[in-house]
Amino acid sequence: MDPQAFIRLSISSLGLRFPGRVTNAAYSFSSPCSCEIRLRGFPVQTTSVPLVSSPESTLDSQSIASSFYLEESDLRALLTPGCFYAAHACLEIAVFLGRKGSHCGIGVKRQQIGTFKLEVGPEWGEGKPAILFHGWIGIGKSKQEGKPVAELHLRVKLDPDPRYVFKFEDDTKLSPQVVQLQGAIKQPIFSCKFSGDSADQVTERRERKGWKVKIHDLSGSAVAAAFITTPFVPSTGCDWVAKSNPGAWLIVRPDACRPETWQPWGKLEAWRERGIRDSICCRFHLLSESQECGDLLMSEVFINSEKGGEFFIDTDRQTRAPATPIPSPQSSGDFAGLSPAVGGFVMRCRVQGEGKSSKPLVQLAMRHVTCVEDAAIFMALAAAVDLSIEACRLFRKRIIRKSTRHSL
């Protein structure tokens, strides 16, 4: 299997300090600071910036504040000037003092302190590790003195992050072939065998269960599987699968010591969140063989039920969410017998919304795949995510017909 070239642009070691008397005159160390990280063609990322009050303070270079993953087409777009763009695209980090929002019904405006800019250059496309910037830099300008208002500390780094790219050739429930994509070349890798009723056939029922997906290699051997262990049923008083009682899949792989038996690898839970735009929440735990370690929560992602979206396992993106810190995989047992990992991107799976032909597209970090069987377990997980969109569809409400009596 040949990987496709990707690079990871990471911003880490963020810190902010106010030199000299500016700190006491205009700013308070109790005020929160944040930044917006912008790169043309990508969604804006927002993260907090810690204030540094002591010269002796050290900043953790391993703490990733933001990451962008770029493929060849992204790099070409960034390096090509357009009609409405500047000659060179830039990585921009705008730093703000205060929170964005409202207090007691009154709008609160953030104060922009300054902006750090770094031009996209040819070295971005060389596919080699490179530190683009590391250290302190002045941002903003004082009107009275013309000196920087503050100093921002950051580390901007490029790392090659090659990926394997796979695609289901048809809907998961139609038992499609799975191919690897390398440019315009499609190479068959797996076949996917689905068993169980489709969602349309069970809309009148009050549970969806018995669904199973097996992933077979080219020789026909089953190398991974996913099956429903907790049925998808509507919660009391409603017609949807709620968070209080989610449906669940068990993701398994063959047991190397016991032929024709399966070893649990992961658990995927899914439920429906109601709102203006309904979403399907997919929560994935990596199962541990040790009772002391317990199961590891690796991902919790909301997918638009109508338009679809992305399920991902990415420790950088997850750890930025304050509600649920996600641990980085540390040992070879954390992922399908894979090599030790230091965190970052693991998997991304693109699925469509309800009633649409999905044909999931899956990307895997090369460092997590040492053999074909390693990739198969992620294909089983991707199939379970895709089928969860259907399993969480609204149930039809029961129609109670009242009998009527006609007087003669």
> What is the per-residue pLDDT across 220-235, written as a single tens digit (0 to 9) for each?
999 999 999 999 999 8
Residues paired with 347 in a beta bridge: 313, 364
Q: Which two tokens stand for residue 215?
A: 């992933």
Task: Note whether 249 and 208 are within 8 A (CB).
Answer: no
Give CA 131 to chain center in angstroms: 25
In the block, which residue shows the tokens 């830039």?
90
Structure confidence at residue 269 (pLDDT): 97
User: What average pLDDT does the structure give for the chain?
Assistant: 83
Asked if the model's pLDDT at residue 347 lies above 50, the reply is yes
| Dihedral sign of CA atoms 227, 230, 235, 236 in order | positive
pLDDT above 90 covers a percentage of the chain that reads: 54
> What is the per-residue pLDDT across 52-66, written as a single tens digit (0 to 9) for each?
876 666 777 677 888
Q: How many residues does the chain have?
A: 408
> What is the per-residue pLDDT across 46-102, written as a single tens digit (0 to 9) for each?
999 988 876 666 777 677 888 999 998 898 888 887 655 566 789 999 999 876 654
> Of the candidates 367, 346, 360, which has an alpha carbon nearest to the alpha carbon of residue 390?
360
Tell me the pTM: 0.82
Distance CA(60)–CA(154), nearest Å, equals 10
Asked if the model's pLDDT at residue 321 lies above 50, the reply is no
> What is the per-residue pLDDT across 376-397, written as a single tens digit (0 to 9) for each?
999 999 999 999 999 999 987 6
CATH of 7-160 given 2.60.40.150, 3.40.50.150, 1.10.30.50, 3.40.50.720: 2.60.40.150
33: left (phi over 0), alpha (psi -120 to 50) or beta: beta
> What is the per-residue pLDDT across 150-200, written as a single tens digit (0 to 9) for each?
999 999 999 999 999 999 999 999 999 999 998 889 999 999 999 987 555
